[in-house]
Each structure stands twice: as structure tokens, then as C-alpha cells.
Amino acid sequence: MKTFTSAAELQQALREEKSHHNSIGYVPTMGFLHQGHATLLEKARNENDIVVLSIFVNPLQFGPNEDFETYPRDLERDENVAAKAGVDYLFYPTVHEMYGEEPSVKVVVQSRTDCLCGKQRPGHFDGVATVLTKFFNIILPDRAYFGKKDAQQVAVIDGLIQDFNFPIQLVAVDTVREEDGLAKSSRNVNLSVQERMEARELYQSLLKAKEAVESGERNAAAVTALVSEHIGAHTSGVIDYIEVYQYPELKPIETLSGHVIIAMAIKFKHARLIDNITINIE
């Protein structure tokens, strides 16, 4: 595995790979790698000749009162995980390498962002789309891998790829969970012991909602109430949102039908956790 901090040098190496007609699979991350990231890398490894991993905690996608400074970072550990996962090129740029002194252009996402994390985190998806536009242009991958845990991100990137004609196949990968159901996340290390125990209830509440839908519940408000009650009763977390939408369009619905998503963000003292479940209703 080769580690690059320079975009130009990585581009040069990848030009060489392309000249040999090697396909490129790309996994963008913010590091502090866990099994969720490893699963994306594994899939990329199976489907491409070359695997590129980027680790970049992107300041553009963090709000002023969010956890940019305290976001967990450990490059040495990440390099070991990446090497084991068969990564060929690790790209680890500085903020200056990505944005220089003052960027002159940014990408603004126009749809699928007025709900869920887009509503709670203004500018977040503009930051995600801007950095990915840059990474896509630097790496020119054939396939890019994203986790369904960040379901709104998948929907937004789908739009970015379509609208900007990136010749890239988006591959969405199922959420990887701890044994008790908690979605793996770099932010889980910021939970207290008590909060970590409570955090299992996020997925439990989604399963409860799924069960209700499978037993015939079709009222969106009743489903969100069920989830909200469960979170209130079993955790000390503060509900940022619990919402139900058509997926991937993220259109609000009163009555559940077709492909729907039940998504939540719950704030604990030092970690805001997100999770979701999608259901196909015949």
C-alpha cells in the first residue's frame, strides 16, 4: 500500500494504473476505520483491480458547533486496517492540499436536503458534494462505495453523479452493525458506558417500527410516534429527528407505500448517532 498526501502525485500514479486498463474502486472516509469501512473496502477489493481509500475529515461538512475538532483520528491504526483490507493507494491530504488558501467554487445541493440531516445540519451536504466532486476528479474511479447508514448521503451523491455526469457507478452497501444492533460508527467511541448500553435501542426501535409496518401499520405519524416513544423510554438521548419518507426521493408521506425509509438522529452528550431502516411495501 502506498500513502499519498499530494493530489498531483496520486493522480500521476493512477494515470499509470489507467494506462494498464486497471479498474479503480474508491472508498471515501473520514478515517478512524471500523468494520463498516472494512466491508466497503472488501467489496471494492472484490470488484476492482485497484482500491483507493481516502481519509479526510472534511471541515466543509461540519457546522460551527459540530465535532470537527474532536472527531476521532488515528492514522497509524487506519494504515494497518487499510493494508489488511488490501488497499493499494491511501490518500490522506491536508485541508490545505484540498482547499488551498480560499476556495473559489463550491457545490450546492438543491434537492433531497430539506429534511433529515440536511435540515438539521445546514450546508453539510454542500460540503460533502464539494469534497466528493474534488475526490472524484482527482481519482477518476470506476466505482465509488458508500454505506446505507448514511442513506441521505447516498441519495444526494446519486444526484451529484447523475447531474454532473460523473462516469462512476455508485455502490451502496448495507449497514454493518455491532452484535447488539448498534450501527458501527467512528463516533461510537464518544459514548459513555451508560450511553453505549442505551444506544442499542436505536436499532431496536427501528425493528419495532418495521414489525408494526409488516403487521399492517401504514400511518407515518403512528410509526414515528412508536419509534419516538421507544427512544424516550429507553435512552437518555435527545431526538434530533425521527422521520419517514419515500426513498430515495425523500418525499414526505402520510401513508406508507412502496419503498420507505424510517430514519433517526439522536444526540447523546458527545456523539450524535444516526440510523435508518428501509422497507419495501408491496
List residues with catalytic annotation: 37
Q: Please indicate if the annotation marks 204 as binding a ligand.
A: no
Residue 220 Cβ, how far from ligand AMP at the closest point, in Å?
25
> Least distance in Å: CB of 260 to ligand AMP?
20
Binding stretches for ligand AMP (CB under 6 A): 29-30, 36-37, 39-40, 146-147, 149-150, 173, 175-176, 183-186
CB of 61 to ligand AMP, least distance (A): 9
* Residue 18 annotated as part of some ligand binding site: no
Report residue 110 CA to chain centroid gap.
Answer: 19
Backbone Cα Rg of the chain? 19
At residue 116, what is the residue type? Answer: L
To the nearest whole angstrom, how small is the minimum distance from the Cβ of residue 27 to ligand AMP? Answer: 7
DSSP assignment string, 52-65 = EEEE---GGGS-TT
Q: Smallest distance from the beta carbon of 57 to ligand AMP, in angstroms?
A: 9
Residue ranges of E strands in 228-271:
238-246, 251-252, 258-267
CA distance 165 to 37: 26
Cβ-based neighbours of 268, under 8 Å, separated by 6 or more: 190, 191, 192, 195, 198, 199, 236, 237
| Long-range contacts of the stretch 92-96 (C-beta < 8 A, 24+) | 92/3, 92/4, 92/5, 92/54, 92/55, 92/56, 93/5, 93/6, 93/7, 93/54, 93/56, 94/5, 95/59
- On whether 54 is known to bind a ligand per the annotation, the reply is no
Q: Name the residue nearer to ligand AMP (CB basis): 220 or 248.
A: 248
What is the amino acid identity at position 205? Answer: S
Known binding residue 61? Answer is: yes
CB closer to ligand AMP, 92 vs 256: 92
Residue 185, annotated as binding a ligand: yes
Using the minimum distance from each CB to ligand AMP, give the nearer residue, 14 or 151.
Answer: 151
Cα–Cα distance for residue pair 190/139, rounded to 1 Å: 32
Task: Please give the residue whose beta carbon sits closest to ligand AMP in the complex.
Answer: 147
Please indicate if the annotation marks 124 as binding a ligand: no
Which CB atom, from 113 or from 185, has the smaller least distance to ligand AMP? 185
Of 132 and 231, the one with the shorter C-beta distance to ligand AMP is 132
Binding-site residues, in ranges, read 30-37, 61, 147-150, 153, 176, 184-187
Binding-site residues for beta-alanine, in ranges, read 61
